[in-house]
Every structure is written in C-alpha cells, then in structure tokens.
C-alpha cells in the first residue's frame, strides 16, 4: 500500500498489434483503476523473448505499446508506465524466486504446454520459468491486486504460493496479491471463430480488429464476421457469432446487450454488422488521433520513459534489497 492506496500491477507483451479485445477487455478498464489504486503498468518486453523476435521490430513495438497506453488515456504522472527491461530488479528477483519454486509446480502450468506445442522448435528454459518472472513482476511492487483473465489465474496462484513460501521462511516480506475483482471487461471473441478469444497472434487477420486499423478495414472485417443461418439478432449462446457482435456493439456504445437486441429487432445481419463497424470506428478514432500526435512527440515519450523507469526502479529496488538481505546476500556498499 502506498499513501493509503492499494497497489495494482498489470502489463502487456510488446508482441503483435493490440486488438479491440485488448482495448475493451483490459486497457479501457485500466483508466478507471488509476483513480482507486497506485498503478504500475508495464510493457513486459522481457517476457516477449521467450519466442524469437526481430530486435528492431521488438524495440519498435515496445515503444508503440507504451505510446498506446498514454493515447488510451493513462496519465504517466498518475500511473507508472514503464519498460520491464529498464528495471533490472525484475530479472534479479526472478532468479531468487526460481530457487523457491518447485519443478512440479512449473510442470503443471498449462500455458507452458500450450506454447510448447505452438513453438516446438524453441522450447527454452525461459518459456518454462516464465511464471516465475511474472511472480517477480507482481511481488516487486508489493501489489495488492492484479487484474487477470482466466488464462492467467494459474500463474497468479503460483505467485501467491511462492510469496507465502518465502514469507513462511523469512517473515512478512511480500504482500500476497489478490485477483482484481472489479468490473469485468468485455470478452471479445474472434470475428472468424467466435469460440476463440480475439487475439493479436491470430493467423487469420480477419479474425481480429487491430487498434490501428483504418475505417474501411474495420467495416470490411465486421461485414465478413461469422454469424449463422438463423437470421435473428438474439443474445444467446446458440448464436456465438451474433452474440459476439452484440458484445462489441454494447461495449462500444455503452448499451446493454438487451438494449442492443431491442434496437436491431427485425433488422438483418447486414445492417447490424455495418452498425457494429461504425461503433468501433467511433471509439477507436480518438485513440488513433492521439496516438498519431504522441508518436511525433519524441521528446515527450522519451521523458516519460526516463521518469517512469526511475519511479519503477525506486519502488522495486526497495523490495529487492530486502529480499537479498533475507536470503543472505552481502549488503551493497554503493
């Protein structure tokens, strides 16, 4: 807790292009959390290299993502927006926590199994210990809460287990983080396979709407969205494609699914898809314009990077020094 406010940590990988799902499901909700919590929002570029990356492209995407955080409305004066790789405490604490994590625990991580299947030619140790680095990310800032989706809940449970194990040995060192249980962001599914979540790594470019897609592209993707032969705009599981479009429209307009269904009663899928596309354009246009403006202001973004990295280091090193002393490392004299 900092100045009477609980601490919240979250981050996104600097790989691929952020989708509408990332925005509506996470980034948009981060804005409201800054008023309630002391927030640390990281560009987790260290996690990104568990998969081979083009170095120049990774640097570019990391900067683009940090700029998008700000363009979306996050205030770098109120929240700490920083590159994970600019704070070496993440790697230092991860090594220590590796020594307090059991192989059996990591073997049970389902994401390791999933990613190993996708990248069978590069099953590296970093991919295996990825959850320990995630634990270090969270515990460094004594985070009270962490917004996580269902796919990351297993990692948060491991983080809690590691923290409790360490505390049982050395005293009250780490805050035990809880999953954030506030307003749940909209769960946006693929436009081409509504049984799967919209993903920035989707091999089908028509399955995802990217935050930088232009208006024509957004309309085209919405028109191509998978629906069904029922021909009725109804909010039910038996029509996953239509239900997904309703969720998108509702999230973009602030209407409930029931209000959306009522609005389009008696209308065809073509009219509805066009309206969904226009609603997406309306919420992405201000973000795209602000992103374009910020991208040209190199001095400002560089200043944010420097100042926020210093803030992250100041907070994280307090925890790291305490941990190092607990495990018996010599005091640093400088």
pLDDT number for residue 257? 93
pLDDT number for residue 294? 97
pTM over 0.85: yes
pLDDT number for residue 275? 97
Q: How many domains, the chain?
A: 2
CA distance linking residue 229 with residue 315, whole number of Å = 56
Q: What is the pLDDT of the chain when averaged over all its residues?
A: 92
Q: Are residues 302 and 244 in the same domain?
A: no
Query: What does the pLDDT average to over 233-260?
Result: 94
Q: Looking at per-residue confidence, does 288 or 13 come out higher?
A: 288
Q: What is the pLDDT of residues 158-172, one digit of tens each?
A: 999 999 999 999 999
Q: Are residues 312 and 266 in the same domain?
A: no
pLDDT number for residue 125? 87
- The set of residues, in sequence order, having a beta carbon less than 8 Å from that of 334 and lying 6+ positions away, is none
Q: Are residues 213 and 265 in the same domain?
A: yes
CA distance linking residue 86 with residue 66, whole number of Å = 13
150: domain range? Answer: 7-180+298-327
Q: Sign of the CA dihedral 194, 195, 196, 202?
A: negative
- CA distances for 250 relative to 27, 186, 218, 239, 245, angstroms: 17, 9, 16, 16, 8
207 close to 192: Cβ distance less than 8 angstroms: yes
For the domain that residue 273 is a member of, what is the CATH number? 1.10.240.10
Q: Are residues 102 and 142 in the same domain?
A: yes
CA distance linking residue 46 with residue 50, whole number of Å = 8
pLDDT number for residue 265? 92
Q: Are residues 167 and 221 in the same domain?
A: no
pLDDT number for residue 334? 67
Q: Are residues 103 and 28 in the same domain?
A: yes
Q: Are residues 76 and 175 in the same domain?
A: yes
Element (H, E) at 286: helix 269-296
Q: Are residues 51 and 120 in the same domain?
A: yes
| Residue 333, in any domain of the structure | no
| Helical ranges in 28-108 per DSSP H | 28-33, 45-48, 55-71, 89-98, 103-107
Catalytic residue set: 115, 197, 200
- CA distances for 320 relative to 92, 218, 220, 295, 316, angstroms: 8, 45, 50, 34, 6
């Amino acid at each position: 807790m900092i100045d009477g406010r609980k601490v919240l940590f979250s981050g996104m990988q600097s790989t691929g292009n952020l989708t509408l799902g990332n925005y509506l499901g996470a980034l948009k909700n981060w804005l409201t959390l800054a008023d309630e919590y002391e927030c640390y929002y990281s560009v987790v570029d260290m996690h990104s290299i568990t998969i081979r990356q083009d170095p120049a492209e990774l640097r570019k995407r990391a900067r683009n993502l940090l700029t998008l955080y700000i363009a979306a409305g996050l205030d770098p004066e109120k929240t700490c927006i920083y590159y994970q790789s600019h704070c070496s405490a993440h790697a230092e604490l991860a090594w220590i926590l590796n020594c307090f994590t059991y192989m059996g625990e990591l073997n049970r991580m389902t994401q390791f199994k999933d990613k190993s299947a996708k990248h069978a030619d590069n099953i590296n140790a970093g991919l295996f210990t990825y959850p320990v680095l995630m634990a270090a990310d969270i515990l460094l800032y004594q985070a009270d809460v962490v917004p996580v989706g269902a796919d990351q809940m297993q990692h948060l449970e491991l983080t809690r287990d590691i923290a409790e194990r360490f505390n049982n040995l050395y005293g009250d060192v780490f805050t035990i983080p809880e999953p954030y249980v506030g307003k749940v962001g909209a769960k946006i599914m693929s436009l081409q396979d509504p049984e799967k979540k919209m993903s920035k790594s989707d091999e089908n470019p028509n399955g995802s709407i990217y935050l930088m897609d232009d208006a024509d592209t957004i309309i085209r993707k919405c028109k191509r969205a998978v629906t069904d032969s029922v021909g009725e705009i109804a909010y039910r599981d038996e029509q996953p494609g239509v239900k997904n479009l309703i969720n998108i429209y509702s999230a973009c307009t602030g209407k409930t699914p029931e209000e959306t269904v009522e609005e389009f009663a008696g209308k065809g899928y073509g009219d509805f898809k066009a309206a969904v596309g226009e609603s997406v354009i309306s919420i992405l246009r201000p973000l795209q314009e602000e992103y374009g403006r910020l991208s040209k202001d190199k001095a400002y973004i560089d200043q944010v990077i420097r100042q926020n990295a210093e803030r992250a280091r100041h907070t994280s090193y307090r925890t790291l020094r305490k941990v190092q002393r607990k495990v018996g490392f010599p005091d640093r004299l400088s």
